[in-house]
Amino acid sequence: MAHVDITEQFERIQQQALDSSIPLADTLRLCIAVGGRLNAPGLIKWANAELDGYGVENELPEYRTVHAPMMVSYFLGPNRVQGQVVTADLVDPEFRPKMHDVPLREALASLEEMAKREQETISMVSEHSGDMGAMIKRNTADPTFLTITSVYWDVPRIAFGSVVDKVRTKLVTMVAEFDVAVRQPGVSTVAAARDAISVVVEPGGVMNMNSAPVGSIVTGGDKSVITSNNAGRDVVATTAGGDIKDSSTSGTSRAQQTPPRFWETAWWTVGKVIVGSVGLVVAGLAAYFTYLAI
C-alpha cells in the first residue's frame, strides 16, 4: 500500500473519531480495512470486538469495566421491596473488591444507544446472578418468608458514554502516535502505523483469546439467599439461583485445592439490561409463586 494511502486512511480515522456526529461503527469498520492492508490482525480483532461485543473467550479491555452499586429487589411476604443496596458484608471477602465492577461486553452501538437514554441509571443483570445469590447465602441468616426477584447493578447513564468516549480517544491517540512516529528519521510509514496500532491492541490484555477455566456450575432449585437492610433491620431474602456444584474432580492430593470462583472465570459478564419496571414485576411475581409452590 502506498505511503500516501496509509496516511490518508489514518487521517480519515482521526477525522471521524473527532466528529461525535459520526457513529463509531463506521470508524471501526475503517479500522478493519486499514488493519487488512497493514497486515495488522490485532487491529482487526479489536475493531471487530468493539463492533460485535466481547465474547466470554475475550478478555475485556480495562476501559470496558465500569463501577456501580449492586442492588437487590425482593418480596417480604406479600410486600415488594425494590432497589436496596447490597453491602460488602453480604458477599465473600474475596469478591468484595469486584462487587461494584460491571463488565460491559455489549457491542459499542448498544452502549451508544444506552448513553442516549433519558433515565439517569440503567439496571443491568448478570447472567450469573444465581451464583451471586448462592455466595450471599453463605453470608446470611434465616431466609424465611422472603424471595428475591433480582440482583443487579444501577449503572449511571454517563458510564456508557464514558466507554464510547474512551474508544474515540484511543483512535485519536493512535493517529497522533502515527503522526509523531512517521516524522522520525529512518522510520517507514508502515512501521510507524504498526507501532501506533499498539495503542488500541496491547493495553489491558485486549486480545487474549484464551478462556479462563470454569470451576463451578449452577445446579439445583431456585433457592439462594441474600440479606439486605430495610429501615435499620436486617432483611433476609431468597433469590432465584441454585446451589453451587464443584465441576472439578476431587479426592486427589495434587494442586487442585479450591476451584475458581465465578468472578475468577471468563464467563463473569453482564447478561442483559432491565428495560423497565414491568420486567421486574413479572419476574418478581414468578419467583414468588415458584417459591410458594416448593
Which pTM value belongs to this model? 0.68
CA distance 149 to 139: 19
Residue 149: partners with Cβ closer than 8 Å, 6 or more residues away: 73, 74, 75, 80, 239, 240, 280, 283, 284, 287, 288
Domain boundaries, the chain: 3-62+161-201, 69-156+213-293
pLDDT band at residue 195, thresholds of 50, 70 and 90?
A: very high
Using one digit for the tens of pLDDT, what is the confidence trace for 100-124?
999 999 999 999 999 999 999 999 8
Phi, then psi, of 217 in degrees rounded to 5: -130, 155
Using one digit for the tens of pLDDT, what is the confidence trace for 120-168?
999 988 877 777 777 776 776 766 776 777 788 999 999 999 999 999 9
Pick from 226, 198, 196, 180: nearest CA to 87: 226
Position 259 pLDDT exceeds 60 = no
pLDDT at 8: 93
